[in-house]
Structure 1
Amino acid sequence: MMKHKIEAGMEVIGADGVHVGTVDRVVGDRIELKRRDSGDGTHKGHHHYIELGFVAGVEGPKVRLSANAEIAVTLEEERSGRPVDLG
């Protein structure tokens, strides 16, 4: 597993080389992206997570995912820390 090679500040890129985010830290089996670098504007200010299972490799200061950036962004799991209003 490459978990021990992933460090804060590393760039996360898709298989296509497109920027997905910046590592804030590794939490369990997920990469937490920095808030200021997460999302497309509608989700800014929230942490996003990417499962470590999507990591294809660590190349220098970059974490490369097995999916293209566009797909990886849809795989992110949002955790805002606030309850979700279902009604």
Structure 2
Amino acid sequence: MINPELIKPDMLVYCSENSQFATVDHMEGTNSLKLKKDKTGQHHYIPLSWVSSIEGSKVKVKFPRQKAIQEWLTFPPLSESNT
């Protein structure tokens, strides 16, 4: 299990194909990463469960780039207390 306290702002987010596709803005609660705005000015969110490892200043996710981009959220997920 990944310790969310190890994820810091400005860490680079890499896909399983080892290419960067995002940058961490900050942790959103305890279960999601908020990513910095993309070229269109949109923030995205990915679940902590996607993170496969943390290597130095890299957060690696277990999905290929295209799958991660297709499945990331454009709004904050509901908190555990709202589900």
- TM-score when normalising by structure 2: 0.82
Percent sequence identity over matched residues? 28
Structure 2, unaligned stretches of length 5 or more?
77-83
Q: Provide the rounded CA distance (Å) in 1 between the counterparts of 2:55 and 2:75.
A: 27
Deviation at 1:2, TM superposition (A): 2.3
Q: Which of 21, 33, 43 in structure 2 is aligned with 1:31?
A: 33
Q: Which has the larger radius of gyration?
A: 1
Equivalenced residue count is 74
Considering only aligned residues, what root-mean-square deviation do their CA atoms show, in Å? Answer: 1.5
Give the aligned residue type for 2:58. K
1:51 to 47, 53, 57: 47
Q: Structure 1 runs of 4+ off > 2 angstroms?
A: none
SS at 1:22's partner residue?
A: strand
